[in-house]
């Protein structure tokens, strides 16, 4: 097979090869690399290509297999990275500082809550009382306790999110 014959056979579906690679690999750069690799493999095996009845289907299968192999190797690399994270038994100093900072922010936010919500948060989330026990202690309806607890948690979540996102209280 000459170069011209090869180009006439392969070029009509090279865009399909790219689109399949893009769909599987997501990254345009990686899809371009995959397309190039497949075309090089086809070129290196151009003598065998003439034997295939459907070169396009063969190319698409090559592309799919190449992309799956690439994804598998990436997953293996990611697993190694995740695995090395578990080897370190101590939490990094920066992470400890961030956690302590978050706990301090939550304490400050709880202090700013209305008295009833502050009490309910203290009883439920810190001292871990049941909702029924809290409603008896505060002489309140169980539904009212749940509503106040929900509002308190929502306020804490919003203020903490704002703090982490914008650095303001």
- Domain boundaries in the chain? 3-87, 93-166
Half-sphere exposure of 89 (CA within 13 A, CB side): 0
The answer to whether the 3-87 and 93-166 domains have the same CATH topology is: no
Half-sphere exposure of 41 (CA within 13 A, CB side): 17
Buried b / exposed e along 46-80 (16+ C-beta atoms within 10 A):
eeebeeeeebeebbbebbbebbeebeeeeeeeeee
What pLDDT shows up at residue 84?
45
What pLDDT shows up at residue 82?
44
Output the six-digit token pair for 166.
Answer: 């914008």
What pLDDT shows up at residue 80?
45
Output the six-digit token pair for 19.
Answer: 């689109």
pLDDT along the chain (169 residues), means of 10: 74 86 86 90 80 81 87 63 48 78 86 90 85 89 94 91 69
Output the six-digit token pair for 161.
Answer: 């999110």
CATH number 3.30.300.30 given to 93-166? no
Contact 31, 18 (CB under 8 A): yes
**Which CATH number, 3.30.420.40, 1.10.1740.10, 3.10.180.10, 1.10.240.10, labels domain 3-87?**
1.10.1740.10
Query: 3-class DSSP state for residue 167?
Result: coil
């Amino acid at each position: 097979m000459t170069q011209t014959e090869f180009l006439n056979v392969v070029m009509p579906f090279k865009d399909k090869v790219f689109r399949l690679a893009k769909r599987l690999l997501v990254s345009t750069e990686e899809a371009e690399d995959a397309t190039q690799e497949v075309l090089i493999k086809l070129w290196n095996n151009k003598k065998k290509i003439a034997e295939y009845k459907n070169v396009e289907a063969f190319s698409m299968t090559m592309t799919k297999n190449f992309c799956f192999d690439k994804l598998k190797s990436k997953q293996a690399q990611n697993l190694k990275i995740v695995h090395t994270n578990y080897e370190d038994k101590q939490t990094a100093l920066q992470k400890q500082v961030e956690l302590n900072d978050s706990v301090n922010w939550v304490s400050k936010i709880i202090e700013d809550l209305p008295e009833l919500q502050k009490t309910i948060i203290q009883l439920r989330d810190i001292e871990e009382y049941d909702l029924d026990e809290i409603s008896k202690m505060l002489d309140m309806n169980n539904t009212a306790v749940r509503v106040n607890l929900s509002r308190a948690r929502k306020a804490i979540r919003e203020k903490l999110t704002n703090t982490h996102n914008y650095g303001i209280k």
